[in-house]
Amino acid sequence: MPSPSRFLSIPLPLLITGISGVAGYNALPYFQRRYPGQILGIRPTQTWQLIGPDILAVDTQDREVLFDLFRTYGFRSVLNCTGNCALKSCELDPAMAWRTNVVSAINIAAAARAFGARLVHLSSDLVFSGKGTGNYVETDAVDPVTVYGRTMAEGERVVLDTVPQAAVLRISLPMGPSFNRHAGAIDWIQSRFRNGRPATLYFDEVRSCTYTEDLNRVFELFLAGQQSGLFHAGGPRALALYQIAQIVNRVGGYDPHLLHGCPRRDAGPIPPRAGNVSMNSAKLIAALGHNPFQPWPVGDELVPSHRRWHFERPANEPGSLAWLVARLYRYPRQTEPRP
């Protein structure tokens, strides 16, 4: 298969912010492999464990330091993955959520505008409440139920007000590994199971999961392109959080009794839970001229059909961490991603 980079021209060097999150953490090595020596990743100063080549500790809330970084490296494009998606932390500390999700967006957008850099900014499906039947499109009004969702919606607004030619991609749950093995959807769930601890997930909170490798190619296409405005970047298969946990439990070979489920109404008051926030990505597909997303997980045999599905353990299923990595972090070997 031809390498997409043969046909793309990303303005370089590229700055990737928020590499401590799942989307940014997986985007950094992807772009470093494709554009050696042209990619810099930044992470919050408090995330001291995340180190590596071309990684710097920078708090994007610090406007002066961020502008100095642009002057030093001359970035011509930015993939902004900054954001704190810890729902409870954001509810308990709205000022922190504002600094991370809004002030950072203000500063990054201002720097991109001042230095003429192409900007692709990541937002979230949780700008919606999910009170209806999902399948949200970009023209639907935002109505978040959490501080996180409200600050992400405000971040979208300030980015597009500051840099109208920027692209804002609303993503759902990026399915890939996390740097600390307990962030993100897959790793948080399996961190509970592998330590013999129960996990309770909701029957009626529905998301549009995407493999991080699909997202990486979308990021690359948008960085090289001129698309502007809002785009939904959700996968074609909508799953409830309980179903996601069923998949992680069975594919990872964990004790099925550790998984519990309940409706959102039985959850505690903090944080509030969204409902069906599945997204319609037709606008993005039309802009790219093809559908870049495989369903997560690839393979209908790994889609739960009932609430005790994860108790079923067919003899041909290995049920292991290795199988989880091969099927849930990335595509199975026999399936080639789209160009």
**Bridge partners, 261 (sequence order):** 201
2 domain residue, yes or no: no
pLDDT tens-digit map of 245-278: 999 999 999 999 999 999 999 988 889 999 999 9
- The domain in which residue 45 lies consists of 11-329
Contact, 155 vs 101, CB < 8 A?
yes
Determine the pLDDT at residue 6.
55
Residue 329: band (very low, low, confident or very high) from pLDDT cuts 50, 70, 90: very high
337 domain residue, yes or no: no
- 97 backbone dihedrals φ, ψ, rounded to 5°: -60, -40
23 domain residue, yes or no: yes
pLDDT over threshold 60, residue 82: yes
217 domain residue, yes or no: yes
Mean per-residue pLDDT of the chain: 93
249 domain residue, yes or no: yes
pLDDT tens-digit map of 113-156: 999 999 999 999 999 999 999 999 999 999 999 999 999 999 99
Domain total for the chain? 1
59 domain residue, yes or no: yes
Which CATH number does the domain housing residue 54 bear? 3.40.50.720
Longest dimension (CA), the chain: 59
Determine the pLDDT at residue 268.
81
160 domain residue, yes or no: yes
334 domain residue, yes or no: no
